[in-house]
Structure 1
Amino acid sequence: MSPLVKIRSERDQMSAVERRIADFILENAQLLRDYSSQQLADALGISQSSVVKFTQKLGFKGYPDLKYSVGEAIARADNGDAPQPAAASAREQAASLAEQLWRRKSEAEEATRLINTPEAIRAVAEAIGQAGRSGKVFIIGLGEDDIYARGFALKLSLLGILAVHNFDTARMTANISAAAPGDVLLVFSEHGNHPALGKIARYFREHRGKVISVTRHTANPLRTLADMSLLVSAHDEQPYIQPLLYQSALQHLLDNVFVLLCEGHDDRRAQLLANLERIQLMLEP
């Protein structure tokens, strides 16, 4: 596993000093080979022991071990990161940008996979599956989060699972009045700090239902309220790239849950095929 991916995946759980070290390494990985632990500490205005503790917390024997590992990761990625010659064609430049974006998405998906254990993802799938047998799965997301909430609700419906989707907090509050023990509420919120969603989660728990939050890998109010969490790790210094990484990693995570809901359930797969066939017939002229 790349040390840079590991740093990205654990950044949100780090202290303020550790995040400063992490950000410096991520932004200056190419230059790290020229820095000793003391020089890095001086550049950040922290103690050398803080740098050493940071590397050991990541699982490395010491700073030289981390520096060597980062150097190896950069060497493996050099082909994709090499600057394009001035005479490169527009097609070559476009291909290079596409390759870099694909690699960054892959790193975000890997980091997200590391923080969501197979057991945690399976537990989420089992909770949704159990609710779908005789109950309901409530799903809400606001703004851009609703894109993924809506898409996942459709996938559950195709499997024959009753999904109650809404992007209006007042209507969802009314819907939840019909919730029963064993039902599940999926709340999509990238930053997990929307007050209305927190109130809905509390109200749902009063009905003894399970709350599953879908947020970034940060400490946030919604995640604290949830019984289970799906977490996304996606970071980039470019503001136009970071949302793309988040969306890609989130979709991959949701796809994993969907596959688990299908695996070993012939009845759900049969329902999926039947529904897809009906939809196709509806779309035909």
Structure 2
Amino acid sequence: MQPLLLIRAGRGGMSAIERRIADFILDNAHLLRDYSSQQLANALGISQSSVVKFSQKLGFKGYPDLKYSIGEAVARNGESAEPAVEAGDGAGEDPLARGLWQAKSRAEEETRLLNPPERLEALAGMLQEAERIFVVGIGEDSVMARAFAIRLSLLGLLAIHHFDPALVPAEVSNARSGGLLLLFSERGEVTALARLARLFRSRGGRVVSVTRHTANALRAHADLSLLVSAHDDARHVEPLLYQAALQQLLDLVFLRLCADESRRMRLDDYREHVRSLLDE
């Protein structure tokens, strides 16, 4: 696992001091070999123990282990310490397209690291076991929520999409314990969704949150959380990275559901039906 990908993916859940250390390392990976833990602490105005704890929290034995890992990555991949993304010979290439593609690739890789296969398998199992699936999202989150609900329906799962959380409580109040609620919220700070999650769980249902990899209210009320890491200095680019990384994540869940042959056959039958209608 690339150490800088690991740091960037975990940045959203770090404390203020940890983010300062992370940002320094991300910006100065090629210079890190010249810094001892004490020198790094002095440069940031923090304690040496904070640097050591940061390294251990990432899974390294200590700062020397972290520095060595980053040094190896620098030697292999150049000053970025991250693997170069190949995209042809570059002849006639649009720099804007290449930059966006690389940014999306990084976001998808970071998101994959945050969601191990066991978590995706667990979600696929929850979806297949649920008697009824409520899918809720607001604003741009509603677009992704609706598309995923449609995919679930095509596989024969009873999925109901709601764009307005105010319309859900009436159905939720009569829901049985076999229900599942999927809440899409990039920032995870929509009070109405947190209330809905509490209500649903009080009725014996299970809740899955889909948010950024940050500490947020929605994650606190979820039985399982899907986490997305997508960062960019340009505010208009960051949503594009979030949507791309989230789509990849949902596609992986969908593929796990398609492992059930009966559901896959149902999807194939639907596509044949649509094709026949279009050919008429």
TM range (shorter): 0.7 to 0.9
Q: Is the 8 A contact 2:30 2:79 kept in 1?
A: no
Q: Which moved more, 1:101-110 or 1:42-51?
A: 101-110
> Secondary structure of the equivalent of 1:91?
coil
Instruction: Report 1:115-264 matches (<5 A).
Output: 115-131=114-130, 135-263=131-259
Q: Is the 8 A contact 2:37 2:48 kept in 1?
A: yes
- In the TM superposition, residue 205 of structure 1 has moved relative to its aligned partner by 1.8
> Secondary structure of the equivalent of 1:229?
strand
Q: Is the 8 A contact 1:8 1:234 kept in 2?
A: no
Aligned residue in 2 for 1:43: 43
- 1-side partners of 2:182 and 2:58: how far apart? 32
Aligned residue in 2 for 1:56: 56
Q: Is the 8 A contact 1:5 1:108 kept in 2?
A: no
Distance 1:164 1:151, change over 3 A: same
> Secondary structure of the equivalent of 2:214?
coil
Q: Is the 8 A contact 1:232 1:249 kept in 2?
A: yes
- In the TM superposition, residue 79 of structure 1 has moved relative to its aligned partner by 9.6
- 1-side partners of 2:277 and 2:23: how far apart? 52
Distance 1:114 1:159, change over 3 A: same
> Secondary structure of the equivalent of 2:219?
helix
- 2-side partners of 1:195 and 1:142: how far apart? 12
The amino acid of 1:130's aligned partner reads E
- In the TM superposition, residue 75 of structure 1 has moved relative to its aligned partner by 4.5
Distance 1:198 1:104, change over 3 A: same
> Secondary structure of the equivalent of 2:136?
strand
Q: Is the 8 A contact 2:29 2:79 kept in 1?
A: no
Output the TM-score relative to the length of structure 2: 0.87
Aligned residue in 1 for 2:112: 113
- 1-side partners of 2:238 and 2:215: how far apart? 19
Output the TM-score relative to the length of structure 1: 0.85
Pick one of 248, 270, 274 that aligns with 1:279: 274
> Secondary structure of the equivalent of 1:125?
helix
- In the TM superposition, residue 8 of structure 1 has moved relative to its aligned partner by 1.4
Alignment RMSD (CA, Å): 2.4
Q: CA offsets per residue over residues 126-153 of structure 1, 9 Å max, x none?
A: 111111xxx2111000111111101101
The amino acid of 1:273's aligned partner reads D
- In the TM superposition, residue 157 of structure 1 has moved relative to its aligned partner by 1.0
The amino acid of 1:42's aligned partner reads N
> Secondary structure of the equivalent of 2:209?
strand
- 2-side partners of 1:241 and 1:67: how far apart? 31
Number of aligned residue pairs: 272
- In the TM superposition, residue 118 of structure 1 has moved relative to its aligned partner by 1.9
> Secondary structure of the equivalent of 2:269?
helix
Distance 1:48 1:122, change over 3 A: same
The sequence identity of aligned pairs, in percent, is 59
Aligned residue in 1 for 2:85: none
- Deviating beyond 6 angstroms after TM superposition, the runs of 4 or more aligned structure 1 residues are none
Distance 1:276 1:246, change over 3 A: same
* Unpaired runs of at least 5, structure 1: 82-88
- In the TM superposition, residue 70 of structure 1 has moved relative to its aligned partner by 2.4
Aligned residue in 2 for 1:91: 92
- In the TM superposition, residue 182 of structure 1 has moved relative to its aligned partner by 0.5
* Unpaired runs of at least 5, structure 2: 83-89
- In the TM superposition, residue 51 of structure 1 has moved relative to its aligned partner by 1.6
- In the TM superposition, residue 178 of structure 1 has moved relative to its aligned partner by 4.0
> Secondary structure of the equivalent of 1:181?
coil
Aligned residue in 2 for 1:267: 262
Distance 1:215 1:60, change over 3 A: same
Q: Does 1:17 align with 2:13?
A: no
Distance 1:79 1:282, change over 3 A: farther
- 2-side partners of 1:40 and 1:98: how far apart? 36
